[in-house]
Structure formats: structure tokens, C-alpha cells
A and B are shown apart, each in its own frame.
Chain A
Amino acid sequence: MARVPIEEGFFRIPDDPAAQPRLLGSRCPACGEVFFPRRLVCAKCLHEGTEDTELSTSGTIYTWTYCHVPMFGKKDADVSGYGVAQIDLPEGPRVQSILSGARDDFAIGMQVEIDLETLRHDADGNEVVIYRFRPAGDAAHGAGAGS
């Protein structure tokens, strides 16, 4: 069964199910600023023509919250809540993402790493996925956000 992104162009899904997804960014060859998601014109110096780059798989929580409602667009209703964070990546971009883990698993300044969340299955039986972040080095939270 294939995995497909909720929307094209934001992250790359590896063929190996054990490998981490990669966020797709852009780097400005003129000033070095890095962006997520990809863009043609540098937002800092307005240089036209950025270079594609894949971003780091881990970052630092800048701020986070926990939503006490089922996740939008997620089919199985067994999850009652989920975390959301802004994560600073080493290259510079600040990414907003859902979190995998329980209410008490997170803190500002903590290291998190990327994996994938399955939202639902589409008409062809593909898994519709989105990136999420979980506490770094914590492989226990594979099942789903808030589990």
C-alpha cells in the first residue's frame, strides 16, 4: 500500500518505511537564507532563483500547545487530542507541525524529530500522510498523536 502526501510539494516520503521523511526547502544562492516551503523568489533579498534543498530531520520546539479536540481530517476518532508546535530547524525555517506524543511529553526548547502521521485512506487505498514531530530519540510513539 502506497503512502501519499496530504498535499504535494511540501515533503518527500522515503521508499523505506523505516526512513524519515524530508521537508522540501529552498536556499537563496545570493544571501544564503533558507525557506520552507519552497519558493522561487528569496523573501529576504528578493533574488530570483533559489536552489532546492532538503531540510534537517530534527529541530527545537519554539512554542507548543495541546488541542483538546480530535484532529481535523483524521478518520479514526480514537485520538482525543493532539499537540501542535512551532519548530526551529537548524537551517533557519520555523515550521508549524502537529506533534506525536502525549500532553506531558513536550517543553519549549526540547529537541524533536520528524516522522509521518497517517490521516486517512483515500479511494485507492493509499495512506494519506502528513509530517509530524516527536521527541528526539523516542521511538515509542509510533502509533499516533496523543496515544
Chain B
Amino acid sequence: MTRGLRFDGVAVAGIGMVRFGMLQETPIAHLARDAGLLALHDAGMTLADIDEAFVGYIQPGSMLGIKAMKEFGLTGLPVTHIENASATGLVAFRDAAWAVSSGRADVAMALGFDKFTDMTRGGGRGAGRDQIDAPILPAAYFALWAQRRMHERGTTAEQFATIAAKNWNYGATCPTAHRRSDHVVTAEEVLAARMVAEPLTTMMCCPPDDGAACVILAREDLVRERQPGRPLVRALASALTSETYTPGHTFVGPVVGPSAMTRATAEQCYEAAGLGPEDVSVAYCHDAFVNEELEYYELLGFCAEGEGEKLVAEGATGPGGSIPFNTDGGLLARGHPGGPTGLAMIHEAVLQLRGEAEGRQVENARVALAHLVGGGSVATVNLLGNEGRAP
């Protein structure tokens, strides 16, 4: 039986990220370097302070993490590579937090980077892939889930578009977001964009991205010592699961459709933290395809099954709402390079918990939740909190 991890005395020492986007001109190691140096500066540290590093990326190539780490210096520290598809960055965060919580490290770095423009260079879409699931567009798998929900619950494309518009408008307020619209985006504009896989238009799907992000975790006393005037943000708990078998499971291609995985993972994380959804001030979820966000309102416990549409109608997950979701624009607007995605979530969660999310600050933010799924086959839920909510 898997269960969540509770972290003991682990605080965020530093955060850093480069703004996501199509960054063809910047070598991947330099993206990683720039994000990592921002986090080290934020922590008031150099590589000499880091006891262990966990590096995540999803693009092909071995040892890219070791190469990136050399940009900060060569101090002999242990470096471990982590790959869990879209969930990679959050799993690097979890392992760095556990390294500190377990006592094996005083300070641990989680670093993530990816370059979509490297992955697609020279190859056409799906070309040369002699695999059974190659002909099916990734967006289609998520569209299948959206269509089934529309059939079962009467959810409308407008309701999905309303969530997308909310995330686009959040993105415009976040300096590190890829998509920063120069005007207020409406549900009508989202619906009028080019159709990809019904009911998902291009404005309901995340963009291709390059980017890097870094989070440094350390013993709470060290963080207080280095940054005495700053609000302390703790890593509270984490859960990570893979699929369980139920009839109707699809084995070829990513899994879609109502899945118990996110719900079970959230329950494990809440239990480990001794918290519940009612304690969460702000949440981040896998909104690569925007219908997912609606499902996760329910699966993460913020409303009963079938009541997600009510939250949308009430504006509960937007500015001033009871549970704002994806305040940096989410995967949809902030962007989704892969490896760094989860660490960008933590970056935004920490800004919110420090009270530094200018233009999009959630009032009295106390506890933040970060969720990602990876390849449809793993899920992770992580909780952070400031001193307004001591564990």
C-alpha cells in the first residue's frame, strides 16, 4: 500500500526560472544555468552549499543533467536524474524535499529543463514513428475525456472555454508566463480559435515550450539563517502513485477518462500533511488540455463529483475566488516544456506563499497544492505552506 510522505523541517531556500517560450537560440545548458543561478541567488547560496541535486527532463539524451549541473561548478555532489513525463519537475521537488527531510542532505536542489525545439528539429509530426499509437494526436486522448464528460454531465464547450480564458488572463499578469495576452481573453475568443480535437481549440491546449526552473530546499534553520527577513515557506507533504487496474483500462496510448489516480494521490497527500482541501488557499494542476482542470476540481477534493461546473459559474477558481487555480496561467498560458513544468508551479506557489505574486496575489495564501499527471500513468500531489499554517 503506497502512502504519502510528510516532510519534517524542510523549507524552500530559493526559486528561479526562465520565462518559458520558444527559446531556440539559447543552448539547453544555459537555460538550466540561468534558472539555477536565479535560485542560488534567491537562496543566498552557491553550489558549495548544495549537498545533493535531482535533475529532470523528458527529452532524449542521457547525462544532460550532469552536464547542466557543471554550469554551476564541480563540487563532487551526487546528482540523480528523474523522468516521469509531465510530472518530472514535481517528482524532482519531492525527492529533493525528502533528501532534506530524511537528514541525508542539509540542502538539495531540484532542477528541470527541456527544449521542445530540440525535440522537433529535423523531424515531422509523427514521422518515422512506427508505433501503434503514433497516428493519434495527443490532444485527442484528452478530447475523448472531454467528450465523455459532455455526454455524461451535459458540460458545454463554453464551460471549458471559460476556464481557458481564466488561465489566459492569469498568464497576462505573470512575468514568467509564455502566453501574455495584450487584451482580456473571453470564452468566445477561446471557442473561435482553430479547432484541434473537438471540443478543444488551440486556445484550450498548452503551447510547445522551451524552459528551465529550479527550486532549492533546505533545513528550516538554515533558511532562517540565510534569509532572516523573508516569510518562510515549508514543503509539507507529497504523494506519488501510478495506475491501478480497473476494467476498461486502456493499455495503448495515454490513459484518459475518469481516473481514480488523482483522487487517491490527493487523499494520500492530504493524509500525510494532516490537511484537507478546505485548508488549501491556491492550487496548481495539469491543465495541458483545459478540460482536465474541471476534472481535477473534483478529483482533488475541492467540490463533489459533478459539481465542477458550479465552481466555474461562480468564478471560484479565478481572481478573488474561494480556491484560485493556476494563478500563473497554468500549463495553458505559463507554458509546459516538460521537465521544468512542476518546478515552475512550485516557483509560483512560493511567490504566492511569500506574498510576492504581484498583480495576482491570493489574499491570505497559507497552503498551496501542486498536482501533475505524467503520461496519463502517474500522478503526484504536493503541499506547501507558510507560517500562517504550521504543520
Residues of A within 8 A of B (CB): 6-7, 10, 33, 35-37, 39, 43-44, 62-69, 71-74, 84-86, 88, 92, 94-96, 98, 108, 117, 119, 128, 130
Contacts and interface: CB of A to CB of B under 8 A. Distances in A.
A71 B140 CA distance: 11
A7 B135 contact: no
A88 B139 contact: no
A130 B132 contact: yes
Nearest to A11: B132
Contact of A72 (B125, B197, B253, B257): B125
Top 10 closest A-B pairs, CB basis? A72-B126, A63-B148, A65-B143, A84-B140, A43-B245, A68-B195, A94-B248, A73-B126, A7-B132, A67-B197
17 contacts: A6-B130, A7-B131, A43-B245, A69-B196, A72-B127, A72-B134, A74-B135, A84-B137, A84-B197, A85-B144, A94-B250, A95-B252, A96-B144, A98-B136, A108-B147, A119-B135, A128-B130
Contacts of B249: 43, 94
Count chain B CB atoms within 10 A of each CB in A71, A74, A92 and give the residue with the most: A71
Interface of B: 125-127, 129-137, 139-141, 143-148, 151, 194-198, 245, 247-253, 256-257
Contact of A68 (B125, B126, B197, B251): B197
Contact of A73 (B129, B140, B245): B129
Given A63-B145, A63-B148, A64-B147, 20 more contacts: A6-B135, A43-B249, A62-B148, A63-B144, A65-B144, A65-B147, A66-B197, A67-B137, A68-B197, A72-B127, A72-B135, A72-B136, A72-B137, A73-B135, A84-B136, A84-B144, A86-B256, A96-B141, A108-B148, A128-B130
A59 to B, nearest CB: 12
A96 B250 CA distance: 7
A7 to B, nearest CB: 5
Contacts of B198: 65-66, 68
Given A44-B245, A88-B248, A71 B135 contact: yes
Contacts of B148: 62-63, 108
B314 to A, nearest CB: 28
Contact of B135 (A10, A62, A63, A98): A98
Contacts of B125: 72
Contacts of B143: 65, 67, 84
A72 B129 CA distance: 9
A56 to B, nearest CB: 15
Nearest to A72: B126
A95 B137 CA distance: 15
B251 A36 contact: yes
Contact of A65 (B135, B197, B257): B197
B251 A35 contact: yes
Contacts of B133: 96
A68 B132 contact: no
B138 to A, nearest CB: 10
Given A65-B140, A65-B143, A130-B132, A86 B250 contact: yes
